[in-house]
Structure 1
Amino acid sequence: MELFCFSVRLAFFIALLFSSDGVQRKCICNNDVCNAAFKFSSNFQTSNQLCQNMGGQLITVSSKAVSDLVSDLLMDMRGDFWIGLRHPDLCMSSDDMPLRGYIWTSGSQTKEFSNWRSEEGECGPNCVSISADLTWIEKPCIVQSDGLLCENVPKDVCFDFLDFEEPTLSIFYNDTDGCSSQLCEHQCVGEANGFRCSCWGNFEIDKEDQTLCKQTCKSESCAAECAGTSSCTCPKGYIVQDDMATQKKCLDINECEQYGCEHDHYCFNTLGDYECSCRDGFRLVGKDKCEFDESRPIDLPANSDIHTPSVNYTTGPASAGAPGKVVGIVLFILAGTVAVMFFVRYWKQKMDEPNISSTSDGDCMQSSYS
């Protein structure tokens, strides 16, 4: 019976840890809001967008208490995970020694807590990841980390994490004319009673109209789309490299060096775009304007005498409609089947050994034979 109990516990753990998309995750929830760790390889920009798509943001590790929470999230995880800390694209003088000039994507101005792995900081467009040892690692924002940490994610979506990657094929179009309707801008893939669209090379399906394709680039440079040797195009936020090379390239424009954000506020260059963040006492209006905000709360120092009640975090179960439950049920049935087989064999052996008493552990069943 010990084997049966173990199989049930193992199947339940796997059902919580994985969803049908195969992404390892752990959600620690308080009421309907969760903090979460997702084992999903991506760069900082993509990770930040993923958290926002779920209604949250990359986690702000602003105190020892939050760091301890991260320890719980990463207990069964390996690798390094993005947190919401990044450095402005342009290096400016700063007395912000604990954070080395980095700022939180949440807009928090708390600067008292840090846990750097290296004693020497690097000035430049870097972001920060954290691992199970809870130390902070500086590295370029465009490189891949093993996962991401999100905060303030609604409970009903925390267990339904998806990678939000652009589809290789468009949605299905129900059309008896199929590809003969010629609605796809690039390529058409015929299916029964309809079709899907796909794109060439450095293009991806346009989310707004999935019959169309838009040029894309997921690195600092990529091949330009050229008609002949003179007319070349690049995605938005990129510019054709001005040289004599046969194969023209598109280079990411650093908007922070050209115009960036208003006055002396923070600017972050991203692939094909840029983002702004405001200094303490201001709030962001639109994409790049900062205005004075009298209502913005002031972050208290870590050693403040003001205390807030502790929160009893618990690992929340998957929502009833979560696709991961299908995987969990299948794994549970498989584990249960194996356990039953072992139990039948165990029962037969005990039937041949009278006057032996056996007791199982935990909340499983107890039985004796004489």
Structure 2
Amino acid sequence: MKLSFLGAAREVTGSCFLVEAANVRFLVDCGMVQGGRIAAARNHEPFAFDPASIDFVLLTHAHIDHSGLLPKLTRAGFKGSIYATPATVDLLGVMLPDSAHIQEIDTKRVAKRLKEKTVPLPLYTLQDAHECLQQVRGIEYDREFAPRVGVRARFRDAGHILGSAIVEVWITEYGYPTRIVFSGDLGQPGRPILRDPTPIEEADILVIESTYGDRRHKDFSATEADMIGIVEKTLFERGGNVIVPAFAVGRTQEVLYHLHRLTCEGRLQRPMVFVDSPMATEATRITREHLELFDEQAKRLAGWHARGENLPYLDFTASAEESMALNRIRSGAIIISASGMCDAERIRHHLRHNLPRRECSILFPGFPVSRRRGRLAGA
């Protein structure tokens, strides 16, 4: 058996592991490298293997740093199946075409800037993404399946984002099975909405990813208190807006959950909340369709929502015109928008229109920070 680490080694994006054993070759994840000036160039490099020789892919979850090169893999000759949980399949149906659209737009922008007569090829196209989606197969949590003779696999709940999975793989060589466990990205126990990660009791080989390394997470009750303080002071004392940069999948839904819960519990006055991200809107819709994956507290909150109790005002914007119209709101609004890193998409024009105003704040989910007196300061 041979295990190759082709991404997310000494970095936290581009997850991709190649397993070769028992006359089979397969990948666990095929993610895009994100961040840094050379990320685009690295994503355009040829794969370190022949894509046509890969029998199948096991996908831990839909985040682009784990799934974003799947259309490139298909384009390069991969013909096998891509196995993922049903919720991940639903998210891929939104995220991969969106990623392809970004690749096409960025390629045209670069060509225009460089005044090239021939438009360079994008990393992959919308057609590539749609063809890739035809290869995706949904497998429920905890169900064993055999993608190839001599290989068994099972997805266990990772509690990271909707549909995220720990992957257990049993490979039989020379009559002896070897159990490999791939953690994917693990959620924190006790976090809202999703169930806690499923405990894995044994493995012969454990491949575990560690985004935060040895950092200690801030106590959740302190984070919650900071969030309440920033929202109350900014919206109802200073008369400004709160701008929330948030990833479209996972973090946006978590922020909405907390705002809804705190309002229902009477700990937060009813705010006006706007979600300004088409991707986040679709991800939120998909999240609501998978109530079976929620923890018990989130299911109770969904019941409150169905009864219409103590809801904050909530609106999802769609068009660019609706997004720009939010800039006319001078006070009382929480605007949640992508991207979470503030490096692209609609969040940048909300920051540009609000942060110069001393009464407004920016809140990073999990790391509340407010803008005061021309600088960023702890809330």
How would you bin the TM-score normalised by the shorter chain?
Answer: under 0.3
Q: Which has the higher contact order (CA 8 A, sep 6+)?
A: 1
Higher-strand-fraction structure? 1
Higher-helix-fraction structure? 2
Specify the structure having the higher radius of gyration (Cα).
Answer: 1
